[in-house]
Amino acid sequence: MIKELLSQDAFINYFSEFLGILVTVILIPIILHLYFKKRNKSKEYLAEKILMEKLNNTLDKIVPIEFRDYDSGTIWLDKKAKKQRIIVYSHILPFSLKNNSRDNIENYFINKYNSYKIEKFKKLKKIHFILNKFSIEINNFLTMYGDVVKKDIIKEYYKLDFNIQTTNTKFIKYKEFDNEIYAETISIVINGIDRIRKIVLSKHIEAEKDYFYETFKTPTHNSK
């Protein structure tokens, strides 16, 4: 019996079982981990692009021209590529919000839609529909990509969604509409969407104004 356990064939069987255990317990989990990591990285990249497009499109529809900054914070680069002096665009924003714009945006909507005229009421109702559509789109987006989206983004979105949903009751009856409360909600939502953009952009770097000139400038040569 002992001779059989210590035979060459037995050792070959032991070694085969050891290899099987090694592959099953160690190698396969490592391979699966690397596979899902690579897949999630691609999924995260796609999710970021889709989310930024939805955020930009919504802001483009509801932010007044007076509060748009087209000169700064609009071009963002990949940090790693920039260190190597390679331009890789991460995101290009149509505009950023001007500094300290929250109170000004709120006052803008209060003053612009100060009366209860039906025409103005309809314009505000249109903004509500845009935000409601945005909320539905982000809900669907999180269903598909929630596993690769930062928790801070999800947290900010739920705050936004709460404020958007509170505006539903304000459009049931025309006479019960409160413009000041609605203007405050719009301001909160606009700045909330911008905060989500900043979270997305936190792992990228803003392009300096002179960066493109320094990268692409044509070298000069002394002519003889």
Q: Is 77 helix (H, G, I), strand (E, B) or coil?
A: strand
Nearest to 160 by CA among 55, 48, 47: 55
Task: Give pLDDT, residue 28.
Answer: 63
pLDDT tens-place values along the chain, 224 residues long = 555 545 556 556 656 776 667 666 666 666 665 555 565 678 888 999 999 999 999 999 999 999 999 988 888 988 776 665 666 788 989 999 988 777 789 888 888 777 656 666 677 778 888 999 999 999 999 999 988 899 999 999 999 999 888 766 555 555 556 778 888 888 999 999 999 999 999 988 888 754 554 444 444 444 33
Bridge partners of 78?
A: 204
d(Cα 167, Cα 131) in Å, to the nearest integer? 10
| pLDDT tens digits for range 74-112 | 889 887 766 656 667 889 899 999 887 777 898 888 887
Nearest to 65 by CA among 101, 100, 114, 92: 101
Statement: the pTM of the whole predicted model exceeds 0.85: no
Would you say how long the chain is, in residues? 224
| pLDDT tens digits for range 108-126 | 888 877 765 666 667 777 8
